Amino acid sequence: METIPLVKKSYSVAEQFALAVDPRASIAGFEPGHPAAPVINPGYVFRPEYLRDMLAFWQGSDNALVIVGDPATGKTSIVEQFHARLAWPLYKVPCSPSTESRELIGQLQPHLDGSLKWVDGPVLRAAREGTSVLLDEYNTMDPGEATGLNLLLEGYSITIASTGEIVTPAPLFKVFATENPVNSRLAIAGRNVQDAANDDRFMIMFADYLPSAQEIKVVAGELVKTGVNADVADMLATQVVGIANKVRTAYRNDDGVIVKPMSTRVAIRWAKLVRRFAKAPHPEGPMVYALLRAFRMDDEMTAAVIAFTKASLGTGTSNGNP
């Protein structure tokens, strides 16, 4: 892969992360334009506790950080938006049970002339550049394969057996990993307990759902983007987030019927579909009609969440109109 020059730039911490800190405080980044640098989401709000952990890792000596939390708790977005504010390349890898360490480090690949040439994987590429890589759903990987990354996670040099080249990670090389908890009740496949030596190389950060007031603001903001009146958007967002929190509470209280929590992503989708299906023919109204299209559930959970909806809204027929 072609090497793209990286030009250093200094950014204001206060401006980039909306922090009430000394305006003279700066943080290193790059000039915008690298294709691997995430795009800034101007509506993204950094949670102080997340940003505190991110900055501690970023400015510390650790090379690897794992972020643990239920789906849609902001694990990926905090990493993406942190890098976006610094125009910092972030190579993103969706891990799976079939992911092998050689894919992440690199391998010999055939070329048109019939020869085999070494091609860096995303982890080794970031190590050479002194940039970052995000291993999403890291604990779906086989533990034996994950241990193949141990030397790089520690910041040590590795020798490429196929070529004999010794690669030493550049300063500021960072590895980020996201994981759903191994002990979660979620019906998600293939979560593994990684090898202790591999786990030991990661600083740990925990992610959770937004506080209600912030989540309502996020959902309402997404509705406003679609042309919904701000007051109506706030009312509908309040209803949807309230029900989402009831679902999460029931899930975490080990309710046998509620087998998974409702994410912010689903809450946004549900709120948008309520508006779209405001006049859809359904005996229990557009809130229920939209719910059934926003959130996949088994029959027992569907009945329970509809009951939450009716209990919260009186009839369950609200369509988001004042």
User: What's the pLDDT at 2?
Assistant: 58
> Looking at residue 316, what is its pLDDT?
42
Contacts of 311 by beta carbon, 8 Å cutoff, 6+ apart? none
Q: Are residues 245 and 167 in the same domain?
A: no
Residues with Cβ within 8 Å of residue 96, at least 6 apart in sequence: 137, 140, 141, 190
CA–CA distance, 310 with 289 (Å, rounded to integer): 12
Cβ–Cβ < 8 Å for 218, 241: no
Q: Residue 105 corresponds to which amino acid? A: I
Same domain, 175 and 221: no
DSSP state of 270: H
Instruction: Examine the fold and report which residue of 206, 238, 261 is the final residue of a domain before the chain moves on.
Output: 206
Domain boundary among 206, 226, 254: 206
CB distance 271 to 222 below 8 Å: yes
User: CA 97 to CA 190: how far, in whole Å?
Assistant: 7
- Using CA atoms, how far apart are residues 47 and 67, in angstroms rounded to an integer? 14
Residue 69 belongs to some domain of the structure: yes
Residues 216 and 176 in one domain: no
Report yes or no on 179 lying in a domain.
Answer: yes
Residues 295 and 197 in one domain: no
Does 146 share its domain with 225?
no
| Per-residue confidence (pLDDT) for residue 188, from 0 to 100 | 47
Other CB atoms within 10 Å distance of the CB of residue 11: 18
Domain-located, residue 322: no
Residues 50 and 153 occupy one common structural domain:
yes
Rounded-to-integer distance, Cα 191 and Cα 304, Å: 27
Are the CB atoms for 17 and 25 separated by under 8 Å?
no
Look at residue 320 and tell me whether its pLDDT is greater than 50.
Answer: no
Whether residues 40 and 154 fall in one domain: yes
Using alpha carbons, select from 51, 60, 120 the residue that is nearest to residue 91: 120
> How many domains, in total, are found in the chain?
2
CB of 106 closer than 8 Å to CB of 119: yes
Is the distance from CB of 86 to CB of 46 less than 8 angstroms?
Answer: no
Task: For residue 118, give the nearest of 107, 129, 128 by alpha carbon.
Answer: 107
- Same-domain status, 185 and 284: no
In a domain, 318, yes or no: no
In a shared domain, residues 116 and 219 = no
pLDDT of 120-130, one tens digit each?
Answer: 999 999 999 99
CATH code (residue 102): 3.40.50.300
Domain-located, residue 177: yes
The pLDDT value given to residue 196: 75
Given this model, what pLDDT does residue 199 score? 86
| 28 and 106 belong to one structural domain | yes
Whole-number pLDDT of residue 192: 61
Last residue of a domain, one of 180, 206, 232: 206
The percent of the chain in helix, strand and coil, each rounded to the nearest 5, is 40, 15, 45
Q: Is residue 1 situated within a structural domain?
A: no
How far is Cα 9 from Cα 316, in angstroms, rounded to an integer? 53
Which band of pLDDT confidence, cut at 50, 70 and 90, is reported for residue 198?
confident
> Is there a contact between 126 and 91 (Cβ–Cβ < 8 Å)?
yes
Per-residue exposure over 97-117, b if at least 16 CB sit within 10 Å of its own CB, e if not: eebebeebbbeeeeeeeeeee
Angstrom distance (rounded) from CA 37 to CA 88: 5
Domain with 284 in it:
212-313
Length of the chain: 322
Residue 114 and residue 104 in contact, taking contact as beta carbons nearer than 8 Å: no
Percent of the chain with pLDDT over 70: 92
Q: How far is CA 272 from the centre of its chain?
A: 21
User: How does pLDDT run across 208-244, given as a tens digit for each residue?
Assistant: 999 999 999 999 999 999 999 999 999 999 999 999 9
**Whether residue 154 sits in one domain with residue 39:** yes
Do 201 and 282 have their domain in common? no
2 in a domain, yes or no?
no
Structure-token match 């679609």, residue found: 226
- Tell me if 320 is assigned to some domain: no
